Amino acid sequence: MTESQKRLRVLIGSRSFGQVFPGHIRELEEAGCEVIPNTVGRAYRADELMAAMVGVDAIITGTDELTAEVINNATQLKTIAKHGIGIETIDMAAARDRGIVVSATPQASSDSVADLTLALLLAVARKVVPAHLDTMSGGWKAYTGMELRDKVLGIIGLGRIGQQVCMRAQGFGMRVWAFDPYANQEFVRVHQVKLVSMPELLANADVLTLHVPADQVECPLLGEKELAAMKYGALLLNTARGALVAEAALVEALRSGQLGGAGIDAFENEPPVGSPLLTLENVVLTPHIGGRTYDGLRRMGEQTIENVLRSLRGEAPLFEIK
């Protein structure tokens, strides 16, 4: 290890990196990096990063505001490593212009997010939460739910997570339809997925689940018009990004019965303080924990470290975003 390598400075923006696995911090230090901890207790705002990024070679980011101004001001920055998947808080054009390597960990949490998607589906379909709360309070109400067998699961976005959700749902006997212009045709053939247009999917899905990156589509993907076009009484699942769904329109669809229920792990504003979703009984809400399993966080941390160290050595990271 040369003296110059020992001076490489890595800022930790992500609050989840090293939280469950402190050894991931030690791995960076043992590789010769000076690790700078997050000092604000949340994602960094752009004005805070203007100072925090001075003299930094790499940042491990969660949802920090990496604007063009921040990136251009960070004259020593060589790489941005996303501890997760979404890159909507990173100004990619500015990073490309500066030649800064941007990486992510798209494979780390696919199983974790797919598991939560099915957990939300079962909880909403069988009204597990209200039944639990009623029973805990001394009640004994017979809640009537929905079976999954032979129901149509509509998937928007048949990428890594969408594929994992597909296979799990088929284990429950669901028929899987999907909308994805870039779907893996071999996966579609092997798993007998029916590819359809967006209008056809909305009209026929008993359950609709979203697994598309918010930065790759025009948001909101589902607004008042799209929600009204869904099959009456259908269920909606969103374990992707809150920006994909117009929240006010979603609330109205849930109140009117147009949607029978929803399982939501991602919100327009996080935490969703004051959101009308918090007042509804036909929803199951979780605090954006899709990727938060011990297995997923272990893989995510390991892949993030590898991305950082490879980039700092001038090598290609495991998962580069261009």
Show the 3-state SS of the chain: CCHHHHCCEEEECCCCCCCCCCHHHHHHHHCCCEEECCCCCCCCCHHHHHHHCCCCCEEEECCCCECHHHHHHCCCCCEEEECCCCCCCECHHHHHHHCCEEECCCCCCHHHHHHHHHHHHHHHHCCHHHHHHHHHCCCCCCCCCCCCCCCEEEEECCCHHHHHHHHHHHHCCCEEEEECCCCCHHHHHHCCCEECCHHHHHHHCCEEEECCCHHHCCCCCECHHHHHCCCCCEEEEECCCHHHECHHHHHHHHHHCCEEEEEECCCCCCCCCCCHHHHCCCEEECCCCCCCCHHHHHHHHHHHHHHHHHHHCCCCCCCEEC
Candidates 241, 292, 299, 310; catalytic one: 241
Q: What does the pLDDT average to over 17-24? A: 97
Residues 212 and 146 in one domain: yes
Residues 122 and 92 in one domain: no
State the pLDDT at residue 213: 87
CATH code (residue 95): 3.40.50.720
Structural domain total, the chain = 2
Q: What does the pLDDT average to over 278-289? A: 97
Residues 75 and 123 in one domain: no
Residues 32 and 159 in one domain: no
Candidates 29, 88, 147, 270; catalytic one: 270
Does the active-site annotation cover 313?
Answer: no
Candidates 98, 191, 288, 298; catalytic one: 288
Q: What does the pLDDT average to over 209-223? A: 93
Residues 115 and 174 in one domain: yes
Residues 63 and 120 in one domain: no
The answer on pLDDT for 84 being more than 70 is yes
- The pLDDT tens digits of the residues spanning 289-309 come to 999 999 999 999 999 999 999
Instruction: Give the residue carrying structure tokens 């590789």.
Output: 31
Residues 52 and 171 in one domain: no
Token duo for residue 231: 């099959």
Residues 49 and 68 in one domain: yes
Residues 101 and 179 in one domain: no
Q: What does the pLDDT average to over 63-79? A: 97
Would you call the peptide bond into 220 cis, given omega within 30 degrees of 0 as the criterion?
yes
State the pLDDT at residue 1: 41
Instruction: Tally the C-alpha atoms within 13 A of residue 53's C-alpha that lie toward its C-beta.
Output: 29
Residues 133 and 209 in one domain: yes
- The pLDDT tens digits of the residues spanning 98-149 come to 999 999 999 999 999 999 999 999 999 999 999 999 999 999 999 999 999 9
Q: What does the pLDDT average to over 179-196? A: 98
Does the active-site annotation cover 3?
Answer: no
The answer on pLDDT for 5 being more than 50 is no
User: Distance between CA 47 and CA 70 in Å, rounded?
Assistant: 8
**Please, what is the average pLDDT of the chain?**
96
pTM: 0.92
Confidence band, pLDDT 50/70/90 cuts, at residue 215: confident
Does the active-site annotation cover 226?
Answer: no
Residues 162 and 62 in one domain: no
Residues 158 and 172 in one domain: yes
The answer on pLDDT for 81 being more than 50 is yes
State the pLDDT at residue 6: 53
Residue 100 carries which side chain, given as an amino acid letter? I
- The residue segments making up the domain with residue 98 are 3-108+294-321
State the pLDDT at residue 2: 47
- The pLDDT tens digits of the residues spanning 145-185 come to 999 999 999 999 999 999 999 999 999 999 999 999 999 99
Confidence band, pLDDT 50/70/90 cuts, at residue 240: very high
